[in-house]
Amino acid sequence: MAVEVKDRDLISIQEARNLVELAAAAQDYFATLDQAAVNRAVTAVSLATEAQAERLARLANEETGFGRWPDKVIKNLFASREVYKYIKDLKTVGIIGEDPGQRIFEVGVPVGLVTALIPSTNPTSTTIFKALIALKAGCAVIFSPHPSAKKCILETVAIIRKALEDQKLPADLVSVLSMPTKEGTDTLMRHPKMNLILATGGKAMVQAAYSSGTPAIGVGPGNGPAYIEKSADIALAVKRIFDSKTFDNGTICASEQSIVTETSIRKLVMEEIGRQGGYFLPPGDSERVEKILMGPAGTMNPQLVGRTAERIAQMAGVTIPPGTRILLGQETRVGQKYPYSREKLMPVLGFYVEDNWEKACLKCIEILSVEGAGHTMTIHSKNQAVIREFGLKKPVSRLIVNAPAALAAIGAASALPPSLTLGCGAIGHNSTSDNVGPLNLINIRRVAYGLKELEDLRPSPAEADPSSPRMTTEQSDPAFDELVRRVMERLSQV
């Protein structure tokens, strides 16, 4: 008599194993196709997901409760349309580069099978993005969705699979774990046929990816300060920070998490913040909000992520003025115990004031050293010397200048490569500092013709003699030789 298996973890593990086998077979076939066929697949997926951008945005907002669906439409269009425009002409399979003079050419080789972990904050847009870059690289991808965003992610994958089928391509090039559990995801990541993990999510998820034994591209937390320097256009700086921090209620990890400014412009900055809908919480109310920003485990409170300032204030039991867009807590302290100095994917900012730009520079580094090292920060300034100093010294992979961080860091409002996976480099314990794209999902095979024989590499008798001059007569410079003679002559007289 057959025994019905009701354990979710066992079902999830078996589903993961089945998906890997199907995806591996689909990728084996896909790897035989040329660049034109790969491009057709990418175009089809781009068009299909672009057409469903609004519906998927509404689904994501309804299921998770995070953010604002109109902003999620923009993110879906960014992933389906703008990312496509950037990657469509890239050479990723077959011969992708050649140097006839040096007799070498390069071949793009897909890494193969990819596991993609998807967060609940940007579920549909990240799924679209990762599907496009994986397909462009000639890979197959299996998604492991955050359980709280499973329905909208499954629907996104269904749209993608239909687009592939319409192109007479295997739908199993893109698949999804329909019963996501920790055990099922771990099975995907550790499967012998898995070639790479694309991890976007919380710290624990990214650490699990890196410790799986499978090569991984993970991204760390954001905690970017926004520095308003005294030469900045203060009104425009505040506008850009608010545009970024309120976009989808702050769910993009590159969004600003604190403001740092200077004593000389403190009053002007605070007044402008008030004019644009920011509210500085009085000390008692600031403490009430601070207490709920992090959960019992010391991580971000999921009940506040992507909520409005009004909702956060209600949950904290404080009253705020009508029309408040962002809550600000005035702070001097930095550390794990001080939530205003940490990542807050919601319209809440810490506010710091320092005497000058040098001290502000150090404060930004201090904030990043607690959380967010290697990710992103912003400077608003007209002083090119200060901007360059920040560029030289800040431990980030993206320094955004005079722009809304959330949109500029992902490449929507800057010339950075468009991406929804932002690497933090070695300082952020990541394998790359790139805005991740298709070229991160291929290996490059270099085919090099010989240019020399062994005898060409042997030194001549004169070169092999340590006492022989390194510069031949033909290479010597008489003027330089005369200068050397005079210097040596003077030294002998000292």
Beta-carbon contacts of residue 67 (< 8 Å; ≥ 6 apart): 60, 61, 121, 248, 249, 251, 306
C-alpha–C-alpha distance, residues 406 and 362, integer Å: 23
C-alpha–C-alpha distance, residues 216 and 197, integer Å: 4
- 153 conformational bin, left if phi > 0, alpha if psi -120 to 50, beta if neither: alpha
DSSP character at residue 256: -
Confidence grade of residue 475 (pLDDT, cut at 50, 70, 90): low
The answer to whether residues 436 and 416 touch, using CB atoms and an 8 Å cutoff, is: no
Residue 266 host element (H or E): helix 266-275
Give mean pLDDT, residues 260-273. Answer: 98
Find the length of the chain.
494
Confidence grade of residue 204 (pLDDT, cut at 50, 70, 90): confident
Mean of per-residue pLDDT scores for the chain = 93
C-alpha–C-alpha distance, residues 237 and 230, integer Å: 11
C-alpha–C-alpha distance, residues 17 and 30, integer Å: 20
Q: Is the pLDDT of residue 1 over 60?
A: no
Task: Give the phi and the psi of residue 352 in degrees, each rounded to 5.
Answer: -125, 145
pLDDT at residue 241, as a whole number: 98
β partners of residue 149: none
pLDDT at residue 5, as a whole number: 52
Please report the domains of the chain, with CATH numbers, ordered by start residue: 8-219+437-445 (3.40.605.10), 225-415 (3.40.309.10), 461-493 (no CATH)
Q: What is the pTM of this model?
A: 0.90
Task: Give the phi and the psi of residue 383 in degrees, each rounded to 5.
Answer: -90, 105
Q: Quick check: helix, strand or coil at residue 127?
A: helix
Question: What tokens were used for 378?
Answer: 């912003």
Give mean pLDDT, residues 419-437. Answer: 93
Radius of gyration of the chain (CA): 27
The answer to whether residues 465 and 251 touch, using CB atoms and an 8 Å cutoff, is: no
253 catalytic, yes or no? Answer: yes
Dump pLDDT digits (tens) for 9-66: 999 999 999 999 999 999 999 999 999 999 999 999 999 999 999 999 999 999 999 9
DSSP character at residue 2: P
Q: Is the pLDDT of residue 153 over 80?
A: yes
Residue 444 host element (H or E): strand 442-448
Give mean pLDDT, residues 390-395. Answer: 92
C-alpha–C-alpha distance, residues 205 and 426, integer Å: 18
- Strand order across the 216-218 sheet: 174-176, 140-145, 113-118, 196-199, 216-218
Query: 139, 253, 361, 424: which is the annotated catalytic residue?
Result: 253
Q: Which of 28-37, 130-139, 441-450, 459-468 has the lowest mean pLDDT?
A: 459-468
Confidence grade of residue 467 (pLDDT, cut at 50, 70, 90): confident
